[in-house]
């Protein structure tokens, strides 16, 4: 039986609501708003785009300006509307963190995604968490009540300390006509989460949407 990633209990103010992970709505598996989460693994971008598909409204996507790879709109359109994307190109890794912090604090955007070459230190992550909490209050006072959700897409082997939850997604091979019938298949791992144990699932996407097995 799957447990929610987070509960609303605790001394610190929590974000309002939870964005379900692809295929995880029925099982209560998702990402708490008003907090910052880490996505790792070779399929981290695919996971972030699918999370985008579970949200509504504009999405700020911050990426390294020195990186050759870019999001391909036609690929994004399989799972989410690429017209919702607002791109921000950063010149330095510090600029990525600064832009994410300011966007979260404003509470104006429901989802903020930041591609980072490596996991940041604890202090910057704490600043991001405080910014997300401030953005939650700003969104509440603005009347729309949609607390911001922050996703850090980190490369390298090191992990970020201080994140609310940490996930890893990797592609799984499919045999025969599995790809045509079910679409892509991944291994989704919950490496760390507040209030939930590590776990792993098989994530499949087909004509009927995403399914967690």
Determine the straight-line distance between the first and last CA of the chain, rounded to whole angstroms.
11
Q: CB atoms < 10 A from the CB of 33, how many?
A: 25
Please provide the CATH number assigned to the domain covering 30-170.
3.40.50.300
Tokens of 19: 């964005």
Determine which helix (DSSP H) or strand (DSSP E) holds 47, and give its type and residue range: helix 44-54
Q: Are 132 and 35 in contact (CB under 8 A)?
A: yes
Position 6 confidence tier, pLDDT thresholds 50, 70, 90: very low
- Where in the chain are the domains? 30-170
pLDDT tens, residue by residue, 84-141: 999 999 999 899 999 999 999 999 999 999 999 999 999 999 999 999 999 999 888 7
Answer whether residue 40 shows pLDDT above 80: yes
Q: Is the whole-model pTM more than 0.95?
A: no
Average pLDDT over residues 150-174: 94
Nearest to 13 by CA among 107, 112, 152, 116: 107
Determine which helix (DSSP H) or strand (DSSP E) holds 83, and give its type and residue range: none
Position 28 confidence tier, pLDDT thresholds 50, 70, 90: confident
pLDDT tens, residue by residue, 130-147: 999 999 998 887 766 689
Question: What share of the chain has pLDDT > 70, as a percent?
Answer: 87
């Amino acid at each position: 039986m799957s447990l929610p990633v987070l509960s609303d209990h605790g001394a610190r103010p929590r974000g309002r609501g939870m964005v379900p992970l692809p295929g995880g709505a029925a099982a209560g598996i998702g990402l708490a708003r008003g907090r910052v989460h880490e996505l790792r693994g070779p399929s981290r971008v695919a996971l972030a785009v699918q999370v985008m598909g579970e949200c509504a409204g504009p999405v700020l996507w911050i990426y390294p300006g020195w990186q050759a790879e870019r999001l391909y709109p036609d690929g994004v359109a399989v799972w989410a509307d690429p017209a919702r994307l607002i791109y921000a190109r950063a010149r330095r890794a510090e600029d990525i963190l600064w832009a994410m912090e300011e966007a979260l604090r404003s509470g104006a955007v429901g989802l903020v995604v930041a591609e980072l070459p490596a996991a940041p230190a604890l202090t910057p992550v704490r600043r991001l968490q405080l910014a997300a909490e401030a953005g939650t209050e700003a969104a509440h006072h603005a009347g729309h009540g949609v607390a911001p959700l922050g996703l850090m897409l980190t490369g390298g082997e090191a992990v970020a300390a201080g994140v609310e939850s940490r996930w890893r997604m990797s592609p799984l091979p499919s045999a025969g006509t599995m790809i045509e019938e079910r679409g892509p298949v991944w291994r989704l791992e919950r490496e760390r989460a507040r209030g939930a144990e590590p776990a792993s699932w098989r994530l499949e996407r087909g004509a009927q949407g995403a399914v967690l097995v």
